Chains A and B, each alone.
Chain A
Amino acid sequence: MATTTLARKPSVWTPGFLAWLGLLGVLVVIGLVSAFWVFARGLVLTNMTDIVPWGLWITIDLSAIALGAGAFTLSAFVYLGGYKKYHSIVRLAVFIGFIGYTSALLTLVMDIGRPDRFWHPWAYWNVHSVLWEITWCITIYLTIMILEFLPVVTDLKFFDRWPWVRKVAHILHKAAPVLALLGVMVSLLHQSSLGATYGIVKSRPIWFKPSMPIMFILSAVAVGPALTMAVAFVTEMITGKRRVDHQILFNIARFSGFALLVYAYIKIWDLASVTYYGRMPAVNEALSLLYRQTAYNFGFWFGEIIIGLVIPIILFLVPRFNRNPKYLVLGAVCAVIGVIFNRWDITVTGLYVPLEYSPGTQYQLPAGTYFPGLVEWGVAIGIVGYALLMLTLGTRFLPLFGDPKPRSQAGQGD
């Protein structure tokens, strides 16, 4: 015992590691300062207005939840699909999912006008509201992920002194498949409902379409596992230890590539039917306004299609690239950027389009303009800092990789 502690100590707190933690600490402090400022003065500090009432923070919520989708997708692989060998990456996926969902909830608490009433959706139900359903699903799913993950945490030496905690965790561990199944169901619901949040709003012509929930869930299913794969590779590059079998990661990348292809397929048909063939007057007007006044076109073709789809699909599927961890990490980063672009495009540029309800020809609301304010960037930086800090500490101190059984761990060394 004593020797392991002595042997481990110098390797943990290297100057580089400490500097990295310090940097993340600064980011988190920036976030906290911004958060307290907003709590004190209100959302007036943000650049959101009555015309564009949702902005950067909602984009972060949507992106973080989409990026956390690796958890349920890979859980479904293992527990529904029966691909047992992927079990060694489920823990990491669930951990990343946990980080994503907590980031989203933290941002959400900043974004609502009355954070003191965050519990209202549980007390006062409006079962017709997709947002109500999303709130429920997200909190339930977060609970499921915590329960799934608890056995990993209780594996730490720290819990030696409370054996009953381990006992509870052991029961939970046995219930893992049931929890994972529940998690998959709840995730399928809310990942698509997040798209429905926009897709059902008839007053916004470029939002109102049935493809919205489908595109949201497909992009999440495609990009979530890719992020998990990238995190596994990056951890390996930094620590120099191979923790997960590369074949598993290659397979995940290939899966992501195919999922992105399906997503691209639906996206292109959506584009064709809604904008090219559709020519609904309201949609046409809205899009031409966006083309004229905003960078929507560039954001869509460059951010969503080229960076978010074409590059990752090539890197994930072309044999020349998809055996090289560096290309795969690059592909995952591109896919992640693409999802963020997409969520921003939908949320913010969708709101730029002015509402037209007056019977006359002159009056309409001015087109929205929005660029995130200082506190919004501050909170965003803090959230990124929080996510990276959790990831760093988790990959460093939690037994995230591999099967808990020592036999298989030994097998992975060679």
Chain B
Amino acid sequence: MSKKKTKVKLELTRRDFLVVAGAAVGSVVAAETLTTGLLSPFANLKQQQVEGVAEAVHESGAGVFHWGMVINLDKCIGCAYCQRACSATNDVAEGMEWNIVVEEKNTAGNTFYFSRPCLHCQHAPCVEVCPVKATYLRSDGLVVMDYDRCIGCRYCQVACPYDARRFNWERRHVDDNAWIPTWGIPEVDRRPRGVVEKCTFCIQRIDKGLENGLVPGEDYDATPACVNVCPVEARVFGNLNDPNSKISKVIEENATLRLSEDLGTNPSVYYIPPKEGL
């Protein structure tokens, strides 16, 4: 029992140390060149990504645009047309609505209707937690997803305070969308099984519209489907950075609130509460 001391001797010669250090440095360099460098099979993807970002900045003009929405709860009649138009235009499956409309009660017990698209937070928890930058904040304030990059870990879903995200638990059936063609024609691809999806403020219309010299929020073809279809004009869309835009004036003239502001998410969607209060 006395001589139980087993000694672990550190027999590192200088040569060994250099070998280990060299291997470490070498693998870092190799990893860099193989993942993001020129030799990488992903280099092309990386390049596309960089170009994509550059393009987005060019198209939207950083700081020039900040797309936002005002939802007037006082006007909303709860017809849920916005929900249908959204589901048709973006080919959203039943039960996975990006844009929800629900009946609500204020403290006085009066009914009002509450609807919620993605709020496009400027400090979005979903953007922060995504391990692969599949969700990102564009320079024009939109929080959008790259469905080709999402790995389906669902952390964004867990982190989103507004329940704005839906996961594709299964491959969708061919004709599971009853709102087509009555409420619109799909303008974007269906999302595959295994990725999360969300409202984009109809990004396809905004980008295309700007290309064609239209003004999102004023021209029909460049405005989100939910805003266009609303029969009572409860939704206003536009550029929050332009003080002369319709949305900026509406916010200026009305008392507005944003959802769960205490979370510091800084959403781009403003609500006008019902006249009799909340």
* The residue from B4, B194, B263 contacting A245, defined by CB atoms under 8 A apart: B4
Q: Determine if B125 is an interface residue (Cβ-Cβ < 8 Å).
A: yes
Q: Is A162 an interface residue (CB 8 A)?
A: no
Output the least CB separation between A411 and chain B (Å): 6
Chain A contact residues, majority secondary structure: loop
**Residues in B neighbouring A46, C-beta threshold 8 A:** 169
0 or 1 for each of A242-255: is its CB under 8 Å from B? (1 = yes): 00010000000000
Residues in chain A near residue B257, CB distance under 8 A: 359
Whether B105 and A362, one on each chain, are in contact in the complex, defined by CB atoms closer than 8 angstroms, is: yes
Contact of B188 with A by CB under 8 A: no
Residues of B within 8 A of A360 (CB): 104-106, 112, 114, 278
Identify 17 residue pairs between A and B in the complex whose beta-carbon atoms are under 8 Å apart, listed by A's number.
Answer: A42-B169, A42-B194, A43-B194, A46-B169, A49-B169, A84-B7, A112-B152, A113-B152, A114-B195, A117-B149, A120-B151, A174-B16, A177-B8, A201-B129, A351-B158, A360-B104, A365-B163
Q: Which residue of A lies closest to B148 (CB)?
A: A117
Chain B residues, CB < 8 A from A48: 169
Given known A-B contacts A174-B16, A201-B158, A132 and B131 have beta carbons under 8 A apart: yes
Instruction: Give the segment of A9-17, A123-131, A215-223 that binds chain B.
Output: A123-131
By the criterion CB–CB under 8 Å, are A124 and B49 in contact? Answer: yes
Residues of A within 8 A of B159 (CB): 201, 203
Q: Are A131 and B155 in contact (CB under 8 A)?
A: yes
Residues in B with CB closer than 8 Å to A88 are 6
With contacts A178-B20, A357-B161 known, is A121 near B131, CB below 8 A?
Answer: yes
Residues of A within 8 A of B260 (CB): 203, 356-357
Known A-B contacts A117-B149, A359-B273; the reply to A202 vs B264 at CB < 8 A is yes
Pick the residue among A87, A113, A124 that contacts B194 (CB under 8 A): A113
Q: Which residue of B lies closest to A136 (CB)?
A: B131
Q: Smallest distance from the beta carbon of A87 to chain B beta carbons, Å?
A: 5
Q: How far is the CA of A128 from the CA of B135 in the complex (A)?
A: 12
Asked whether, in the complex, the Cβ of A113 is within 8 Å of the Cβ of B150, the reply is: yes
- Name the 6 nearest CB pairs between A and B, nearest first: A113-B152, A113-B194, A203-B161, A360-B104, A44-B170, A132-B131
A135 interface hit (Cβ, 8 Å): yes
Q: Are B129 and A130 in contact (CB under 8 A)?
A: yes
- Report the Cα distance A118→B153, complex, angstroms: 10
Q: Are the C-beta atoms of A361 and B104 separated by less than 8 Å?
A: yes
Within 8 A of B (CB), among A125-174: 125-126, 128-132, 135, 171, 174
Tell me if B103 and A54 are in contact (CB < 8 A): no
Complex interface residues of chain B between 102 and 135 (CB less than 8 A to chain A): 102-107, 112, 114, 116, 125, 128-134
Taking a contact as CB atoms under 8 Å apart, the answer to whether A363 and B114 are in contact is: yes
A132 to B156, CA, bound (A): 13
| A-side interface size class | 35 or more
| Chain A residues whose C-beta falls within 8 Å of the C-beta of B154 in the assembled complex | 53-54, 113
19 more CB-based (< 8 A) A-B contacts, given A113-B167, A117-B151, A359-B278? A41-B170, A44-B169, A48-B169, A53-B158, A78-B8, A84-B6, A84-B8, A85-B5, A114-B152, A117-B149, A120-B149, A123-B36, A123-B42, A129-B131, A178-B12, A201-B125, A357-B116, A359-B257, A361-B105
Please give, as numbers and ranges, the residues of chain A lying within 8 Å of B3 by CB-CB distance: 411
Say yes or no for B214: interface residue by CB 8 A criterion. no
Chain A residues with CB under 8 Å of B131's CB are 120-121, 126, 129, 131-132, 135
Bound form: Cα–Cα A183–B115 in Å: 49
State whether the Cβ of B166 lies closer than 8 Å to any Cβ in chain A: yes
Q: In the complex, which of the residues A49, A174, A361 contacts B12, with contact meaning CB atoms closer than 8 Å?
A: A174
A405 part of interface (Cβ distance < 8 Å): yes
Assuming the contacts A85-B4, A202-B263, asked whether A50 and B166 have C-beta atoms less than 8 A apart, the reply is yes
A3 at the interface (CB under 8 A from B): no
Q: Which residues of B contact A54 (CB under 8 A)?
A: 154, 158
**For A132, what are the chain B residues with a Cβ–Cβ distance below 8 Å?**
131-132
**Given A41-B170, A120-B151: A202 touches B273 (CB 8 Å cut-off):** no
Bound form: Cα–Cα A200–B1 in Å: 51
A129-B163 contact given A43-B194, A54-B158, A122-B35, CB 8 Å threshold:
no
List CB contacts (< 8 Å) of B192-244 with chain A: 193-196
In the complex, A384 has a CB within 8 A of chain B? no
Q: Which of A44, A120, A132, A414 has the most CB of B within 10 A?
A: A120
A203 with B160, Cβ < 8 A, contacts A125-B133, A359-B114 known: yes
Interface check B11, CB cutoff 8 A? yes
Q: Is A239 an interface residue (CB 8 A)?
A: no
